[in-house]
Structure 1
Amino acid sequence: METLQTIAAGYGGRLDVVDLGRRRRFSDDFKLSVVAESYAAGAVITQLARRHGVHPSQIYVWRAQARGDGGGVGRISEPPAFVPVVATGDHGGLCEPSPAPVSAPLVIVLSGARRVEVHPGFDAATLAAVVTTLEDLR
């Protein structure tokens, strides 16, 4: 019988050993815990997959299964989603409006590459008149 070195020599000196192994099986509890962890704030799927020894795409499959899109694993609740917010004038005293922060000037770029820098507290009516006058000078 030939040795691995003899066989490898016939293939240009390169021999790749591939371990096909057995298909791994994960419990539903393990899958659900990984899926729940994947929805945590700041979770990075690739890091999570590396830590648990699975491929990142497997976590997405388990998420779909948990949502009911792929069957197999028990359901978990959906991650939080954005919802529309309607602002009303009445805040019921629950919060006070915060004062305007002191910030850098607002820079308005007009036609002809003209710039107007507006510092906090500048009168809006005067600003409108200045911008209108400068735009009319084109």
Structure 2
Amino acid sequence: MSTRIEVVAGRRRWTVEQKLAILRDAFGPEGSVGDACKRHAIGSGSIYTWRRQAMSGELGGARPAPLPSFAEVELSAPVPGLPTAGSHIEIELPSGVKLTVDSGVDADALARVVAVLTR
């Protein structure tokens, strides 16, 4: 009685272009993660890891953009053109998301919201 054993050595290396093509296959208009896994003989964990990396900018070797930071400013006199109490501030993030907040918004709370929206 003979048993056949297949030995797979090492891990497969995927280029950035191959990873992006697989992501388009998995998440495109008619995409399916399960079907993409079968077609490319890859686990779904890799696909979701690549998607996270692509969304954060890490997939192509680029570093993710730094999170916005805020500095406390004190004004000794009103400055023309700056919002006054009760007015609104409009913020447009690079992703296209637009926020409108009251000019009296808590800076720490706003920083937390912006950090979540820029993930």
What range describes the TM-score normalised by the shorter chain of this pair? 0.3 to 0.5
Mark the structure with the bigger radius of gyration. Answer: 1
Higher relative contact order (CA 8 A, sep 6+): 2
TM-score by length of 1: 0.37
